[in-house]
């Protein structure tokens, strides 16, 4: 997009962390924001912050795990601002436990919130963007979707890998029709994401923290990266060049890459050294 001035942006999970920071970065450039979040207080607070800073924003309570959520979100946005230009599918939740201890129901919860939310969003917002022949989609995946993450958080990593694939397919399909697609693959970012993670299923896993080889970014840095990616029509946003370096390392010899990551007898996962 050439400008964000006046553009209408919908951000799910906009009440905290990366969603909040992106909302602020887009609003700073003149975008009008719809902050959609399951946490009513946080959504309202972010909308208030934007309005207090001289921008335009509205908050809506929304559970992206609910089939009707995106119909309501789209209707709310059109009623309030009359258009949708940018959709950021940003909600993601974590779970942990060794694979044999993670109940099927927990897999389904993570798939429903992290992955099916993107599917639901596409069924509602894509027809709208296609009809107008312009706009931009941002899907928040993770470095967890790009290479080995951790054996105790497989459902999360699996949904993030799926979001990367969905985004690549959408980029091929939508770009010729005037619609940009960005997939955001952050390394670690200092947000509240751990606060909503349920207790570990089964015994605790004495694992190295996934991504601890990378620095932890402030969400504001990521918000600015997303704003620039929309303006520059950038597909992949890594947030950290080291994430790309690890990906290159894996691609150059996938077998030795995975072999160099060990799980010790005590269950400790040791990720490969990053460059």
Ligand X SMILES: NC(=O)c1ccc[n+]([C@@H]2O[C@H](COP(=O)([O-])OP(=O)(O)OC[C@H]3O[C@@H](n4cnc5c(N)ncnc54)[C@H](O)[C@@H]3O)[C@@H](O)[C@H]2O)c1
Residues forming the site for ligand X (CB under 6 A): 12-13, 15-19, 37-39, 42, 62-65, 90-93, 113, 140, 142, 186, 188-189, 191-193, 196
DSSP per residue, 206-239: --PPTTTTSPPBPHHHHHHHHHHHHHHT-SEE-S
Report the alpha-carbon distance of residue 144 to residue 238 in Å, rounded: 11
DSSP 8-state assignment for residue 35: E
Nearer to ligand X, 62 or 84 (CB): 62
Q: Could you tell me the CA-to-CA distances from 39 to 19, 35, 76 in Å, in that order? A: 13, 10, 17
Report the alpha-carbon distance of residue 119 to residue 166 in Å, rounded: 9
**CB 75, min distance to ligand X, A:** 17
**CB 264, min distance to ligand X, A:** 25
Q: Which of 151, 156, 173, 238 is catalytic?
A: 156
Nearer to ligand X, 19 or 272 (CB): 19
Nearer to ligand X, 50 or 64 (CB): 64
In the residue annotation, 149 being an active-site residue is answered as: no
**CB 220, min distance to ligand X, A:** 12
- CB proximity list for 65: less than 8 A, separation 6 or greater: 109, 112, 113, 116, 117
Nearer to ligand X, 13 or 272 (CB): 13
Which residues form the catalytic set?
156
């Amino acid at each position: 997009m050439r400008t964000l001035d006046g553009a209408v942006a919908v951000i799910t999970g906009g009440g905290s962390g990366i969603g909040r920071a992106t909302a602020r970065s887009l609003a700073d450039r003149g975008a009008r924001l719809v902050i959609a979040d399951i946490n009513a207080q946080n959504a309202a607070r972010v909308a208030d912050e934007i309005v207090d800073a001289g921008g335009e924003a509205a908050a809506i309570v929304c559970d992206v795990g609910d089939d009707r959520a995106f119909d309501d979100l789209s209707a709310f946005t059109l009623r309030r601002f009359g258009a949708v230009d940018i959709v950021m599918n940003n909600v993601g939740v974590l779970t942990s436990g060794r694979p044999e201890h993670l109940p099927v129901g927990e897999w389904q919860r993570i798939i429903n919130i992290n992955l099916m939310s993107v599917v639901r969003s596409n069924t509602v917002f894509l027809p709208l963007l296609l009809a107008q022949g312009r706009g931009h989609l941002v899907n928040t995946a993770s470095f967890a979707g790009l290479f080995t993450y951790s054996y105790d958080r497989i459902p999360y990593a699996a949904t993030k890998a799926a979001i990367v694939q969905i985004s690549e397919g959408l980029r091929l399909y939508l770009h010729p029709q005037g619609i940009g697609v960005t997939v955001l693959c952050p390394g670690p970012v200092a947000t509240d994401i751990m606060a909503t993670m349920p207790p570990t299923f089964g015994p605790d896993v004495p694992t190295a923290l996934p991504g601890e080889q990378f620095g932890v970014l402030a969400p504001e840095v990521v918000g600015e990266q997303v704003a620039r990616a929309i303006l520059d029509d950038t597909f992949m946003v890594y947030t950290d060049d080291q994430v790309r370096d690890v990906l290159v390392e894996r691609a150059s010899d996938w077998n030795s890459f995975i072999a160099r990551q060990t799980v010790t007898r005590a269950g400790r996962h040791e990720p490969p050294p990053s460059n």
